[in-house]
Amino acid sequence: MTNLAIAANGLRKSYGDKVVLDGIDLAVPEATIFSLLGPNGAGKTTTVQILSTLIAADGGTAAVGGHDLARKPDDVRGAIGVTGQYSAVDKLLTGEENLLLMADLKHLSRRDGKRKAAELLERFDLLDAARKPAATYSGGMQRRLDLAMTLVGDPRLIFLDEPTTGLDPRSRRSMWQIVRELVASGVTIFLTTQYLEEADELADRIALLDHGRLIAEGTPEELKRLIPGGHIELTFADTHLLDAARHLLGTGIADPQALTLQVPSDGGVRAIRELLVVLDEHSIDIADLSVHTPDLDDVFLTLTGQHKETTR
Amino acid sequence: MSTLTLAVRDSSTMVRRQLKRLIRYPSMTVQLVVTPAILLLVFVYVLGGTLGNGLGGGGGGRDAYVNYIVPGILLMAAATAATGTAVMVATDMTEGIIARFRTMRIYRASVLTGHVVASVIQQLLGMIVLIVIALVIGFRPNATAIEWLATAGLLTLFAIAITWLSVALGLKSPTPEAASNAPMPLVLLPFLGSGFVPTDSMPTVLRWFAEYQPFTPIMETIRGLLLGTPIGNSAAIALAWCVGLTAVSYLWAKNTFNKA
């Protein structure tokens, strides 16, 4: 059995009448990237704030890094690192001073602190700016310093709350690379993002959060399979063939104008082969064939759309 | 590591952080010396000749007034610094770095202790500069070494009290702008007390306020220590104010910080 870095049960949080988290369960295995995906206001940041001991949940239990969140918050704090959505660097201090400050607060010896700071400055490409105040850094540099500060104490579990929001594509890619390296070294990452691409790119498992509820959870592939919308689109030379195919298959949406027939399918190779065999046996030629597998965008829009309708 | 070692270690880390920030952002420190220094010069050279004559007792004139005004100026310097501390704390709270500290296994109040200790050091340095300026323009204290030491002790206690108060005010302020207004009344208290003129020249209501507000017994005690004027029960009242204000402000600040 794999150990869980995060195990949460029925977490709830309300601010006044507004329910922000409506009972969410999480199970994040060690050394994996878990992504909480959702639109603005879904409750992603609140989840991170609760799991990182910043705010208390109104209900539910959680163990983070093996420690009970409510009873042993200080042990949780000792096990985690947090890089929030808003830059958590001291802008008046230099990059190096920021890292040394973290080393002091992690109670490293002076020598270990200096070595760690130098190593992180090098790794995060901040050597040239090490002696400049963080206020003069670009957005991407501040975010890198921010993450470097989080890594000073070698936390085994890192929360990244929208780590690439507002970054240019190049900085985003370099952040992704860093995240992959961290997981390769055995660190667990809890990542929130509003970018489907980011979750698809990085995460081992994704949970979709909407209006304070988890509406789906699984690997990116599982989620894509979860929803209808996958189909094979056949194009024919004339309406005669189109009608024949539709009668034969007994299903599908025909478009006489475009001479296409959309046949529901998971888009797998086996399904395609079977379809082609049936058509061939009846000598129905096709002019063109395309496979449409749902992407996370479809999953997201379908699920959040459905969810909105059921809550109305 | 025991809680106490942890508290001391984290707090001293935070003091170093804050001192570095103060060095990096010197306009606050300069303002803390310049504002009271200008007031000192204006009061002594523009108003001092006349005000000094109204002090009663022997001498009078400008020379007497320099001696009279120094305690008030010192407290005003501390109050000015308090404004700066409130702004710094409020600014700090708007930055993500505080959220980071809260997610780390460190002694919680160390951030606040860092602000207070650094600010008190800053204030004491500022007061030394002001005393030197006063000495240059004719301040003639007759204090013994022990009286100087007692003065330093009382000023330190006062600085600690007013700084914890300003930390609490800074934490309570929604924005740094609001924080710069909150401690404003503190800067005026030396005027509404025995800082610039004796309280017995004031109208009844104002005099009543002036005699019972915390700055007056502190200023009277310092005046007594440095110049030999009668202290009476001022020293005891001054100490009580400093300790009481520190205790209340500390709890208020700590509570506010933990709740936020």
Radius of gyration of chain A (CA): 25
CB contact under 8 A, B17 and A53: no
Determine contact, residues A77/B101, Cβ cutoff 8 Å.
Answer: no
Measured in degrees and rounded to the nearest 5, phi and psi for residue A159 equal -95, 125
A295 falls in which pLDDT band (50, 70, 90)? low
Question: Could you identify the residue written with the tokens 């004491």?
Answer: B124
Determine contact, residues A284/A248, Cβ cutoff 8 Å.
Answer: yes
Domain residue ranges in chain A: 4-225, 228-292
A305 falls in which pLDDT band (50, 70, 90)? low
Angle at A33 between CA A28 and CA A34, to 5 degrees: 50
- How many Cβ atoms sit within 10 Å of the Cβ of residue A218? 15
Res A292 pLDDT > 90: no
Shortest CA gap A93–chain B (Å)? 7
Tokens standing for residue A131 = 């002696």
Chain A contact for B4 (CB, 8 A cutoff): no
CB contact under 8 A, A88 and B99: yes
Interface of B with A in 45-84 (CB under 8 A): none
Chain B contact for A174 (CB, 8 A cutoff): no
pLDDT of residue A247: 87
Range of weakest confidence among A273-287, A297-311, B197-211:
A297-311
Chain B contact for A156 (CB, 8 A cutoff): no
Domain residue ranges in chain B: 26-259
Fold of A228-292: Alpha-Beta Plaits (3.30.70)
For residue B68, give the H/E element and its range: helix B61-94
pLDDT of residue A198: 87
A1 falls in which pLDDT band (50, 70, 90)? very low
Residue A93 has its nearest CB partner, among B21, B96, B102, at B21
Residue-wise pLDDT for A156-182, tens only, equals 999 999 888 878 888 888 889 999 999
CA B95 to chain centre: 26
pLDDT of residue A255: 84
pLDDT average per 10 residues of sequence, chain B (260 residues): 86 94 84 89 88 74 88 92 89 88 91 94 93 93 93 96 95 88 85 85 89 92 91 91 96 88
Residue-wise pLDDT for A85-121, tens only, equals 778 899 999 999 999 999 999 999 999 999 999 999 9
A184 falls in which pLDDT band (50, 70, 90)? very high
- How far is the C-alpha of B162 from the C-alpha of B159, rounded, in Å? 5
**CATH topology match: A4-225 vs A228-292:** no
User: Which among A186, A178, A113, A127 is positioned nearest to A155, based on CA atoms?
Assistant: A186
CB contact under 8 A, B104 and A106: yes
- How far is the C-alpha of A198 from the C-alpha of A190, rounded, in Å? 13
Question: Could you identify the residue written with the tokens 């707090």?
Answer: B11
pLDDT of residue A220: 83
Residue B24 has its nearest CB partner, among A92, A104, A107, at A92
Helix, strand, coil shares of chain B, percent, nearest 5, are: 80, 0, 20
Tokens standing for residue B18 = 């804050």
Residue-wise pLDDT for A12-31, tens only, equals 999 988 999 999 999 999 99
Please name the CATH architecture into which domain A4-225 falls: 3-Layer(aba) Sandwich (3.40)
Tokens standing for residue B138 = 């004719």
Chain A contact for B145 (CB, 8 A cutoff): no
A248 falls in which pLDDT band (50, 70, 90)? confident
pLDDT of residue B108: 87
In this predicted model, which residue has the larger pLDDT, B157 or A219?
A: B157
CB contact under 8 A, B25 and A92: yes
Given the DSSP bridges, would you call strands A205-210 and A188-193 parallel, antiparallel or unpaired? unpaired
Shortest CA gap A276–chain B (Å)? 59
Shortest CA gap B22–chain A (Å)? 9
CB contact under 8 A, A105 and B104: yes
CB contact under 8 A, B104 and A149: no
Range of weakest confidence among A72-81, A187-196, A228-237, B37-46:
A228-237
pLDDT of residue A309: 38
Q: What is the mean pLDDT of chain A?
A: 87
CB contact under 8 A, B99 and A84: yes
